[in-house]
Amino acid sequence: MGKKKVYHSFEDLAVNEFGMKPNIGHTNDKDKLNSQREKFEGVCPYCKERAKFILGTNVITCVNPECKGKKTATKFDEDGTEIVRYTPYVKLLSSESAEYGNRLFDY
């Protein structure tokens, strides 16, 4: 009796036994690809514009030049002028999400 082959995924079985091409996870449908990218990036919660994934990083941020971000502090100087500080919208991704984003946008 011969040695049994053990496969750890359906992809291994499809490639090794049936000669199929490995799945690279990309779609050829441009509308679907753009829809996936929009859903992944999301919107800035402060200005409601589409956020942007920065390729090669784990960061999604708002690129709207008019968006100030979240109001974080208010104080007054000696003249009584109000000073307001804002923090721009930045979302840090997990390593798995960053890997997915890099595959999604590096196409």
**Rg of the chain on CA atoms, in Å:** 23
Answer with the residue of higher pLDDT: 106 or 39: 39
Q: Given pLDDT bands bounded at 50, 70 and 90, which one contains residue 12? A: confident
Q: Given pLDDT bands bounded at 50, 70 and 90, which one contains residue 24? A: low
- Could you tell me the residue ranges of all domains in the chain? 10-105
Provide the whole-model pTM. 0.66
Q: Are strands 90-92 and 59-61 parallel, antiparallel or unpaired?
A: antiparallel
Specify which residues 53 forms β-bridges with: 60
Q: How far apart are CA 22 and CA 38, in angstroms?
A: 26
Answer with the residue of higher pLDDT: 52 or 77: 52
| Position 93 pLDDT exceeds 80 | yes
